Structure 1
Amino acid sequence: MRIPGVVSFLIASLCLAGCSSTAGVDALDLQKPSNETTSSVIRPPAPIAAAPAARGNRAARAGLAPMSDNGPGEKTRPFGLAEEEETGMFAAPDAPDPQVPDVGGLPVEPAALVSPPKLLTRAAPAMLAGPLTHYGFRDAKPINFGKGSPRRLAVHGVDVSRWQGNVNWDKLRAQGANFAYIKATDGGDHLDPMFMKNWRNADAAGLKRGAYHFFYWCRTAGEQADWFIRNVPRVEGALPPVIDVEWNGESSCKRRPSREKVLEKMQVFMDKLERYYGQRPIIYTAPDFYRDNLRGEFLDYPFWLRAVAQHPSKVYPGRKWLFWQYSGSGLSHGVTGRIDLNVFHGDERQWRAWAGGRQTVADAN
Structure 2
Amino acid sequence: MNKLLLGLVLVVAVACGGGPGRDIGAPGPGAYPQLGDSAPHDWGGAHPYGHQVHGIDISRWQGDIDWGRVRGSGISFAYIKSTEGGDHLDPSFNRYWREAAGARIPRGAYHYYYFCRSGAEQAAWFIRNVPRERGSLPPVLDIEWTHSKTCPGRPSPAVVKREANAFLDIVGRHYGQRPVVYTTVDFYHDNDLGDLRAEFWLRSVAGHPRRVYPGERWAFWQYTGTGIVPGISGNVDLNAFAGSRADWSRWLQTRLTR
Do they fold alike, i.e. is TM over 0.5?
Answer: yes
Partner in structure 2 of residue 240 of structure 1: 138
Partner in structure 1 of residue 14 of structure 2: 98
Deviations 1:243-299 (A, max 9, x none): 00101224531010011100110011110011100101100000110111134322x
Partner in structure 2 of residue 41 of structure 1: none
Whether the 8 Å CA contact 1:135–1:151 is kept in 2: the answer is no
Whether the 8 Å CA contact 2:89–2:129 is kept in 1: the answer is yes
Deviation at 1:334, TM superposition (A): 1.1
Whether the 8 Å CA contact 1:134–1:175 is kept in 2: the answer is no
Instruction: Give the whole-Å Cα distance in 2 for the aligned partners of 1:228 and 1:112.
Output: 28
Go from structure 1 to structure 2 and tell me whether the alpha carbon gap of 1:222 and 1:95 turns closer, same or farther (over 3 Å shift).
closer
Deviation at 1:359, TM superposition (A): 7.2
> Of residues 244, 252, 257 in structure 2, which corresponds to 1:355?
252
SS state of the match for residue 194, structure 2? coil
> Of residues 181, 189, 208 in structure 1, which corresponds to 2:87?
189
Residue identity matched to 1:218:
C
> Of residues 181, 195, 201 in structure 2, which corresponds to 1:304?
201
Instruction: Give the whole-Å Cα distance in 2 for the aligned partners of 1:212 and 1:95.
Output: 24
Extract unaligned runs of 5+ from structure 1.
1-89, 101-107, 114-132, 361-365
Partner in structure 2 of residue 265 of structure 1: 163
Deviation at 1:112, TM superposition (A): 4.4
Instruction: Give the whole-Å Cα distance in 2 for the aligned partners of 1:335 and 1:112.
Output: 28
Instruction: Give the whole-Å Cα distance in 2 for the aligned partners of 1:265 and 1:165.
Output: 32
> Of residues 20, 36, 59 in structure 2, which corresponds to 1:111?
20
Residue identity matched to 1:320:
R
Deviations 1:32-89 (A, max 9, x none): xxxxxxxxxxxxxxxxxxxxxxxxxxxxxxxxxxxxxxxxxxxxxxxxxxxxxxxxxx
Go from structure 1 to structure 2 and tell me whether the alpha carbon gap of 1:167 and 1:269 turns closer, same or farther (over 3 Å shift).
same
Is 1:215 aligned to residue 131 of structure 2? no
Partner in structure 1 of residue 26 of structure 2: none
Partner in structure 2 of residue 228 of structure 1: 126
Is 1:329 aligned to residue 226 of structure 2? yes
Deviation at 1:110, TM superposition (A): 2.6
Instruction: Give the whole-Å Cα distance in 2 for the aligned partners of 1:226 and 1:134.
Output: 41
Instruction: Give the whole-Å Cα distance in 2 for the aligned partners of 1:163 and 1:297.
Output: 33
Go from structure 1 to structure 2 and tell me whether the alpha carbon gap of 1:186 and 1:95 turns closer, same or farther (over 3 Å shift).
closer
Partner in structure 2 of residue 288 of structure 1: 186
Deviation at 1:134, TM superposition (A): 6.2
Instruction: Give the whole-Å Cα distance in 1 for the aligned partners of 2:32 and 2:104.
Output: 14
Deviation at 1:319, TM superposition (A): 0.7
Residue identity matched to 2:18:
E
> Of residues 212, 222, 233 in structure 2, which corresponds to 1:315?
212
Deviations 1:204-247 (A, max 9, x none): 11111000000000011111100100100011111110000101
Is 1:137 aligned to residue 22 of structure 2? no
Instruction: Give the whole-Å Cα distance in 2 for the aligned partners of 1:184 and 1:96.
Output: 27
Go from structure 1 to structure 2 and tell me whether the alpha carbon gap of 1:97 and 1:138 turns closer, same or farther (over 3 Å shift).
closer
Go from structure 1 to structure 2 and tell me whether the alpha carbon gap of 1:153 and 1:165 turns closer, same or farther (over 3 Å shift).
same
Partner in structure 2 of residue 205 of structure 1: 103
Whether the 8 Å CA contact 1:224–1:269 is kept in 2: the answer is yes
Partner in structure 2 of residue 345 of structure 1: 242
Instruction: Give the whole-Å Cα distance in 2 for the aligned partners of 1:316 and 1:97.
Output: 23
Go from structure 1 to structure 2 and tell me whether the alpha carbon gap of 1:110 and 1:270 turns closer, same or farther (over 3 Å shift).
same
Instruction: Give the whole-Å Cα distance in 2 for the aligned partners of 1:291 and 1:200.
Output: 36
Whether the 8 Å CA contact 1:240–1:279 is kept in 2: the answer is yes
> Scaled by the length of structure 2, what TM-score is found?
0.88
> Scaled by the length of structure 1, what TM-score is found?
0.63
Instruction: Give the whole-Å Cα distance in 2 for the aligned partners of 1:175 and 1:205.
Output: 12
**Structure with a larger share of its residues in strand:** 2
SS state of the match for residue 261, structure 1? helix
Whether the 8 Å CA contact 1:237–1:357 is kept in 2: the answer is no
Deviations 1:168-206 (A, max 9, x none): 111111122110000000010100000010001111111
